[in-house]
Amino acid sequence: MLSWKLPRLLNVHQVPKVFHEDSIICGYRSPTCSATACVLSLFQLTNETLNIWTHFIPTWYFLWRLLALLSSPGSYHDPYLWPLFVYLLSCCIYPLMSTCAHTFSVMSTQARHICFFLDYGALSMYSLGSAIAYSAYIFPDRWVNSTFHLWFVSWAVFNTIISTGMSCYSRLGLPILHYNQHQIERFPEEARPRLSKVLRVTAFAYPYLFDSIPVFYRVRLGRTLGGDVMISINKLDEFLSIKL
């Protein structure tokens, strides 16, 4: 029979070091929680409450926007909107995966690593979705069909792979697929926490800086969107408008 009693919370000295969070001294869940206990913990104040709900609520907002766009007449047959579909889908996947990672990461030490590997992958996929949207809608006219434009998405795919691999390495080291909970000294987070943090920040910052090159170009020149792009935006507004 299921028990609906909220799980007992622990302080930082009662959980393994791998579960510790900087400056958080209480509100930890048991590192051997069941899936049911993880779900029940959504309704109590834990060290992950803010992370979970600030990702869970936006997931439903972006899903609503995606479904609204998909339900618009003729949207399936308009190639101009396909990059927007991809971008909105990545907007749904990233916060949903992050919600799951923060919710179920206390089932075990191994589950914690797996959850955050998936979280890192979803975040990298979001950067790829952004690159696809930028390639379709943001590129300056003079860059369209240039070598940089033609290779922009392919380069973003490469960045996604490298970003995911680097962020996973920053957590568990190499080989990533080999796991032994009794050899925590091989974890970069344990041995060199500052290096681990730098690698992870770099892994996520670089793809977004790369994706934003067309935006930086527009900002630097102080240009406003041209006529063709304004027509495109009006077209997007027509499909994205929600009739309440």
Among 90, 99, 87, 104, residue whose Cα is nearest residue 57: 99
Directed axis angle between helix 49-70 and helix 227-240, to 10°?
A: 100
* CA distance linking residue 207 with residue 159, whole number of Å: 6
Neighbour tally for 15: CB within 10 Å: 17
* CA distance linking residue 203 with residue 10, whole number of Å: 32
What are the angstrom distances between the C-alpha of 91 and each of 97, 101, 122, 171, 240? 10, 16, 9, 24, 15
The C-alpha angle 201, 129, 225, rounded to 5 degrees, equals 100
Q: Which residue has the tokens 């930890």?
A: 28
Cα 210 from chain centre: 16
* Residue 102 annotated as lining a ligand binding site: yes
Surface-to-core class of residue 24, CB atoms within 10 Å of its CB (0-12 exposed, 13-18 middle, 19+ buried):
middle
* CA distance linking residue 110 with residue 206, whole number of Å: 28
Amino acid at 88: L
Could you list the residues known to form a binding site, using ranges: 102
Could you list the residues known to form a binding site for Zn(2+), using ranges: 102
